[in-house]
Every structure is written in structure tokens, then in C-alpha cells.
Amino acid sequence: EAYREHVYLHPVAEARFEAQDQPLFRNVRREAAPLSLRGAPALRARLQATAPAPTYTENGIKAVTEQLLERAHTTLNTAQHTLHDLGDVNRAISDAYYAAYYAATAALNEAGREAKSHRGTHDLFFKTYVRDGGPLGREISGVLSELYEKRVDADYEPIPGFSAGDADALLARAETFVEAVEDVLKAQ
């Protein structure tokens, strides 16, 4: 009884399910366990076989990658507004991290990889884009981890103690990270 699983239903028309290239649908097609054991192997094989090929934008990157990059920019803009117009330092720091996280997720999506957690995203991003002579340097990769640590403090410490100057510096680091990821994706 200590371990319970929660099942959430997400009804979707079959045609939409097979056509969507969003992470939820890809994960279900690739990993989901059917609710009925009868015919499970055949159903799993069918789900994996009917996964649509990714669609590409005029920029030559996957559509989902472009959407994630747009989300990174929107989140950066929100962080700037939150800091400069609303004065919420902690929320701005949290948003700075999420902007970088969305950019890292976009890069992984473009490489056909995805992680299941924030730490997994950091590790996979490092392995894919930094280690073994990847296109990004260790300093850029370190930005993601640094922003994550600051976000955890900003979100969960009772009195985080960040200043507006701290938030501005972290926003600049997040923007540098997002731009570096975009440059790599455009160069591929």
C-alpha cells in the first residue's frame, strides 16, 4: 500500500494520437503499457510502428524543437518582465532556469533524445552536446546546472536572499545559454 500508481486518462481520437509529434504522444507510443494484457505485444508494436515522422520547419529544424525554442524565448521575456516590472526576483530566477531548460530540451529533441527528469535532461544534454568534443563548451553546459541550483533556492528556500542584481546576472546567463543552443541548432 505504500506504493500506489496513479492512472490518468487522456482521451484522444486515434488519428490525432497517431499524428501528434508532442513528447506525451511519443512517450506513450514508445513506452506505454496497455491497460489490458490481451494483445499487449501486438498493440505496443502497432503504436511504435505508426509513430509519425517529425515535421521540419523552413529553418530546417523539427517543428517541436522550434516550439520549445519559442517557449524558451517567451519564458526569458516573462522573466525580464517579472523582474523589472513586478520586482519579483525569485520568480525571475526560476523563469531564467526554465528558459534554459526549454532550450536544452529543444536541443535534445533535435537530436532525437529525451530525458524523464530535470537532472536527466542536464546529464543527457552534457553527453550529447559537450562531452567528447561536442559543439558546446563546458562553461555553457555549466550554466544549466547553475541556474537549476539557483532556481531550487529561489523556489524552496524560506528566505532566498537574491538581489535584483543577482537575478539580472542569471537572466543574462540564461539568455547566453539559449542563444548558444540556437546557434548550434542552426549550424547543424
Domain spans, the chain: 1-53, 63-187
* Residues in Cβ contact with 160 at an 8 Å cutoff, skipping those fewer than 6 apart: 89, 90, 93, 153, 154
pLDDT of res. 132: 76
Please give the grid coordinates belonging to residue 157: 528556500
Query: For the residues 26-38, what does the mean pLDDT come to?
Result: 60
Whether residue 30 is predicted with pLDDT greater than 90 in this model: the reply is: no
CATH of the domain spanning 63-187: 1.20.120.330
* The predicted structure's pLDDT at residue 134: 87
Q: pLDDT of 119-162, one tens digit each?
A: 999 999 999 999 977 899 888 889 999 999 999 999 999 999 99
- In this predicted structure, what is the pLDDT of residue 67? 96
Q: Is the pLDDT of residue 6 over 70?
A: no
> What's the chain's average pLDDT?
86
pLDDT of residue 46: 73
* Buried/exposed 111-143: b ≥16 CB within 10 Å, e otherwise: beeeeeebeebbebbbebbbeeeebbeeebbeb
